[in-house]
Structure 1
């Protein structure tokens, strides 16, 4: 095993419990896709890690001791992870949730999700992909009840991004449940599946009546999962806006899965910033506005990043929000901390009176590394705007 001597900065991070290895902390390291022992400049063993670049760092610390990374190792991790999700497994109201969450469950670089009787593995770097056979074998031992699995390739270099992995193939589209609401999903069509599972507590808020009797605008709506949840929770009308042409078809499928009539629910294929202008021009206004943009987006006219531009969404929402309305402000940008996100929101309010009702972070199935705030990447505020 290669021994790698690290800087005092890295030593301090490891002792704090941070598992992701930052690229900037290893400027001269050229080796990749290999397991290493990390040691301090005094020669003290600090932990076992693997090096493999991905969008989040250059590698991961996986253990504070020397151990064999084999099928038995992963069986132990998966067994512990399964115990943590027993409440989800026992629930008939929610049949899609996360089974394994990176360093929160002891091994960064992969996630596993469950959709009814099927699993979806996401590989985030070349090293984790190279040992996937022993991970999958361990999974089949711990989850013999899962009928089949798919994989998502979330790093560059392969000529495919989604494939059937083992077992029975899932229907092209099928229904899962979350908070008792039906959603249509698909497991082998690109990187997406039709729903972002990390938002089930926020959608649960809408199912429980947060928008009951109101009209809701859902921006960056993707498949309009927030809109469906709101409609099931008694919203009078919903409007879902997304630039992707397929969003309308996918959104309608969720509504139809719940037997909801579409006459009070609109699906608009349009750039969000153009829709703000359109709504203002047409005199449209809303009681609740959901803002859940991608961390970074680019179209022909402009680029958008949560860190620099989220305040624009707040400011433009206020122009079409009914008096006493509410905003659900959300981001999954891991580079934007909770306080930084709040400051960006405040910049958009420009002194307009409002109060924060609730704060949501990642749900319990998305187990976080409690020593690393960036692993708790989801940040959602429900905000009451004063009349």
Structure 2
């Protein structure tokens, strides 16, 4: 063990790591000063120097590293990465064979055994998201594993880290052939335009696949739909294809309008028959109230944290207010789709937000459906925070 640094686990965290918890937090380590170079391997040991697990040093917003193995003799090499990625691909075989869907997640970080990076598939192209310099140092092993495991059109990457933990905007192409963007991918038969070479976002959040599908299949027909924080309008497209009478997409970002027009267009939908509004969502709620606008289906999918010139939004603090605003523009017996990707609280607290908002507004309600991550977003029972997505379908009964 002398060739690998030893990190001494504080006593109260020893059993947690022994039971399989994969994320190494700063406060769990007694000798944090031992960590010098990201990407270096370490052994977690208890205060009497008994081996617990091995992992790598990589700083991201969640901690200082991830556990890779509980076997002291296991090598972290090309074979290790190849086996993990191969196992993950086998679990997604049904997705590879699905003629209606050709975009999905094939590797979901700690859920597939290696925290700190994810891999998404876009019709023959693979996109690797790196969340720390530490995991990025293993890039060569990951790419070699791909070369040995599968044929691909091309590989792109997103380096979602810098000294402030943000995205590094540079050439995202890794190898293979460069894509001609947008690539038009399919999800449950719906077309979406994606860009793997244009900043941190690609144009669609794959973790909302099941939610988009159920909106199209069960909730959209003949409905007046409001899609807030709409980004590229993916929910609006699903609703329109599900027979919505009309969709209204609202987002503060100026480019959201052209992006939403594009998503409607690649599905043959007349975007001029839809409303696409560039406006702060909270200002739009005020506008809708002044104009007495009401909707049958209201979709709330805000970022966990956002700051504009006017206000700061934190989902952990401000979501009840957001739901109250949505209630005021929702018809009786209408449905609010409340979604959050904030991993710092669970479904119980999220349902508490709904209860609080309805109580404050004197509204009765019924939760009629709920969703977490889809099955390609593999999670680990040892790390419940990894199942971050929480979606509630709330029927306003009065």
What's the TM-score bracket when you normalise by the shorter of the two chains?
over 0.9
Q: With structure 2 as the length reference, what TM-score do the two structures score?
A: 0.94
What is the alpha-carbon distance in structure 1 between the residues aligned to residue 169 and residue 227 of structure 2?
32
Deviations 1:198-230 (A, max 9, x none): 000000102213111101100000001001001
Q: Could you tell me which of 17, 23, 26 is aligned with 2:26?
A: 23
Partner of 2:237: 228
Q: Does 1:366 align with 2:377?
A: yes
Partner of 1:154: 160
Q: Could you tell me which of 79, 82, 86 is aligned with 2:89?
A: 82
Deviation at 1:94, TM superposition (A): 0.8
Q: Does 1:196 align with 2:196?
A: no
What is the alpha-carbon distance in structure 2 between the residues aligned to residue 111 and residue 230 of structure 1?
29
Aligned residue runs from structure 1 range 218-297, under 5 A = 218-297=227-306
Q: Cα 1:41–1:147, aligned 2, differ >3 Å: closer, same or farther?
A: same
Query: Unaligned 5+ residue runs, structure 1?
Result: none
Instruction: Judge which range, 358-367 or 202-211, deviates more.
Output: 202-211
Tell me the C-alpha RMSD between the 2 structures. 1.3
Deviation at 1:28, TM superposition (A): 4.6
Partner of 1:14: 17
Partner of 2:223: 214
Q: Cα 1:162–1:209, aligned 2, differ >3 Å: closer, same or farther?
A: farther
Verify the 8 A CA contact 1:148 1:165 in the aligned structure 2.
Answer: yes
Partner of 1:63: 69
Q: Does 1:377 align with 2:384?
A: no
Verify the 8 A CA contact 2:331 2:396 in the aligned structure 1.
Answer: no
Q: Does 1:96 align with 2:99?
A: no
Q: Could you tell me which of 59, 79, 85 is aligned with 1:72?
A: 79
What is the alpha-carbon distance in structure 2 between the residues aligned to residue 82 and residue 317 of structure 1?
40
Instruction: Judge which range, 265-274 or 335-344, deviates more.
Output: 335-344
Deviation at 1:70, TM superposition (A): 1.1
Q: With structure 1 as the length reference, what TM-score do the two structures score?
A: 0.97
Deviation at 1:367, TM superposition (A): 0.2
What is the alpha-carbon distance in structure 2 between the residues aligned to residue 95 and residue 375 of structure 1?
24
Q: Does 1:37 align with 2:40?
A: no
Q: Does 1:142 align with 2:145?
A: no
What is the alpha-carbon distance in structure 2 between the residues aligned to residue 21 and residue 56 of structure 1?
8
Matched residue pairs, number?
386
Partner of 2:346: 337
Verify the 8 A CA contact 2:120 2:126 in the aligned structure 1.
Answer: yes
